[in-house]
């Protein structure tokens, strides 16, 4: 008897009910496929937006890193004048307060520039590098000099972080 009650309580599904269920399953599968397609499109757009934001952040970082480039270039030109003043004082044998003050000012400006990533290019005696040096003249190679090396520096060059701010104007031994 327990088997008879189980069959009696279970309703018989008609072919109409089965067709309705199949139709409902097909509709749900179609909705699921549509949902998955929309989800994939959303994820793609989200990834694109994340990439755009990342590029914008990198661009902003670069802009901030080199934001003071024009100011530094102007200061480097003023530093050239301080160098000339110190050289003139040394040639004249001036050891007075004015010469010391000019040297202290030059040193202070160099310290400030270094603090902001601006450093002089060490060129004298180094191999000529067209990425950092601008050859303004050539001279014959002398004793102790290597060919194609910097024999003299006419104007200091400067780097700002990893970029050349101003190339060094150099005389190259040939």
Render 61-115 in DSSP notation, one character per residue.
Answer: HHHHHTTTHHHHHHHHHHHHHHHHHHHHHHHHT--SHHHHHHHHHHHHHHHHHHH
Q: What is the pLDDT of residue 119?
A: 96
Q: Which two tokens stand for residue 18?
A: 């089965």
Give the span between the Cα atoms of 107 and 92, in whole angstroms: 21
Q: What is the pLDDT of residue 12?
A: 59
Mean of pLDDT over the chain: 91
Q: What is the pLDDT of residue 1?
A: 47
Average pLDDT over every residue of 44-65: 96
């Amino acid at each position: 008897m327990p088997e008879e009650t189980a069959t009696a309580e279970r309703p018989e599904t008609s072919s109409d009910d089965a067709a309705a269920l199949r139709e409902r399953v097909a509709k749900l599968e179609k909705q699921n496929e549509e949902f998955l397609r929309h989800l994939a499109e959303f994820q793609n757009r989200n990834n694109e937006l994340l990439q755009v934001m990342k590029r914008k952040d990198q661009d902003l970082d670069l802009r901030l890193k080199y934001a003071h480039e024009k100011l530094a270039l102007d200061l480097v030109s003023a530093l050239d004048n301080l160098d000339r003043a110190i050289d003139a004082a040394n040639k004249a044998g001036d050891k007075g307060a004015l010469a010391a003050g000019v040297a202290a000012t030059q040193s202070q400006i160099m310290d400030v520039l270094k603090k902001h990533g601006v450093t002089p290019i060490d060129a004298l005696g180094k191999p000529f590098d067209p990425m950092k040096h601008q050859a303004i003249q050539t001279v014959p190679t002398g004793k102790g000099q290597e060919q194609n090396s910097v024999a003299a520096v006419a104007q200091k060059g400067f780097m700002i972080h990893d970029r050349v701010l101003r190339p060094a104007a150099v005389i190259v031994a040939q």
